[in-house]
Structure 1
Amino acid sequence: MGITTTRAAWVPGVAAAAGAAVVAWGISALLPAVPLLTAAVALGIIVAQIPAAQSLLSGILAPGLALSSRRLMRIGVVLLGFKLSLFDVVSLGWGVFLSTVTIVLLTFGGTWLLGRAFKLPGSEPLLIATGFAICGASAIGAMSGVVRAPRSEQAQPVALVTLCGTLAIVVLPALWHPLALDSLQFGHWVGASVHDVGQVVATAQIAGGSALAVALVVKLTRVVMLAPIVAVAAVVERRRFTASPEMSKPPLVPLFVVGFLAAILVRTFLDLPEPVLSGLDGIQTALLAMALFGLGAAVNLRRLLTTGWRALAVGVLSWVLIAALALGAVHLFS
């Protein structure tokens, strides 16, 4: 009886997230420059600022939105692995591969230190570092599942990574020619510095198909780093619970990380038919859109703009850091 009641409580929020994902798809279809997942997060943020909607978001919709932002996010991250082939990563060459890994690690470490220096609360330094260094709001959702961060702690990192990633769609193309980059160099820069995969596509495509191809491979190489970084965080988090036997320890390696790695291996070594890959991509995008709407709906924009200036400063500095590191790598390996 209790399980049935709980499941029934999920329905309104999950249905709202699904409807929002459809609306986000429509926005992206009408405005191709707006990635679907960015539209989903932005839609959640906008809805959360409407006074009439706030009671619904904190009431009847809350259980389903929490489920979407947690469980559906993890399933979406697993399916994200089917986008990645290790052969594509190897095709970059060791120089570009190692520079990409180095950029991720330096951005992650630098952003985490900035978050600590600005005295951000709870897991916010870790979540912002994960989002800016790896793959935006999806990475924040994955990391939050490991460190058990509440949606309230995820809200500001999600808003910041969405804001900076959206600005990148405009700012990076404006700097393309002034920085004297050719199309392949521009694609490399975009892939190494822009946060979300959809934002990478929207930014790099203006330089042509070759630039987009390079950008996607470099970007997906960054996504591969999600597994080891989240796994290390899980080990650290597990040690924190050693002194508290009454609290259950998180798994040594989260199940969704194992699934993510398994999906990468399947994509690498099995020749999956294109319709299957397209279907998995569609499901993955839909699940992440629902999850990101749920995360966006937890954002208090007024709080971010008035009392969240420290988080805003960390986000902007992290964005500048990764863009500068990526630009240096482009010039080093071009």
Structure 2
Amino acid sequence: MTVNTPEGRAAASSAPPRSMEVLRTPDTRFGGLPGYAFEPHYVEIDAGDGAGTRLRVHYLDERPDDTAEASGETILLLHGEPTWSYLYRNVIPPLVAAGHRCVAPDLVGFGRSDKPASPFAYTYQSHVDWLRETMFGRLDLRDVTMVCHDWGGLLGLRLLAEHPDRFRRVVATNTVLHTGDQGDMGPFYTQWLQFSQRAHPFEPGAVVERGTATDLDPAVRAAYDAPFPDEAHLQGVRRFPLLIPISPDDEAAPANRKAWEVLETLRIPFLCAFSDRDHVLGDAHTPMRERIPGAQGQPHTTITNAGHFVQEDRGPRLAAVIDDFVRTAR
């Protein structure tokens, strides 16, 4: 215990930072998942705790085989809450067959990526930094077509604004970039916030099923639960709803406002491909279509018969929209 005296406080301030406790889901949890026969890839990044802790981040990197005509395009697929790269299992194969390279990371705290044990390790800024280091620092992705969904947009659109030279085009699907100035978040957010903090057990597969227009096969639902064998592994999932900027004084509000200032000048081709039965975000695409110059005149698409998790309901259809945009938006 540190004594609360000037000498004691000085000693505490000079003590080396404590390493972050990190959990790793056993590989056995990912065996035999339906539709997910992809080879895992990993990079290590700095956790940013000042103690040199390293985080292992998982990503998919699927490419056309030697018999296919590669397009030379790289498509970055960003998942959100409470999913992982499994969300894109029906989107990746048709895009690869069309000649594109597909990179789909698991955000820290999700999927096969490491999971800090403390909920306070997860901040909006730490997620931005972790994703930046993974995609640009370690994988050095350039000329990317970004597909961002849910929290994939809350993070990906920040990176777009901060590193526009890395991107060639964007497809935003059922996502948003809040600044804290939007006013009342509505009843869904209030209910979701309470559920995310109080539900025991918290079952990501059940959340995904409630956000789809079709019923999930029990094995698919279980696959969304696979990364989270117990409550200790769920801290990142539970934390995300608390990180959404809901007031002008929110910690992330200034950086997101600054991001919008940049987005409002960007002419990078920007497509909205929202679904018609997304009861989470509704018409949240309107600000993007109206305020981002690169969205003007684009063939924005409403994907029918799909809920919030459009990749589950209409994965091949979303892939076709992405492929067409890659081929036509220059």
Which one has the bigger helix percentage?
A: 1
TM-score range with shorter-chain normalisation?
Answer: under 0.3
Higher relative contact order at CA 8 Å, sep ≥6: structure 1 or structure 2? 1
- TM-score, scaled to structure 1: 0.27
- TM-score, scaled to structure 2: 0.28
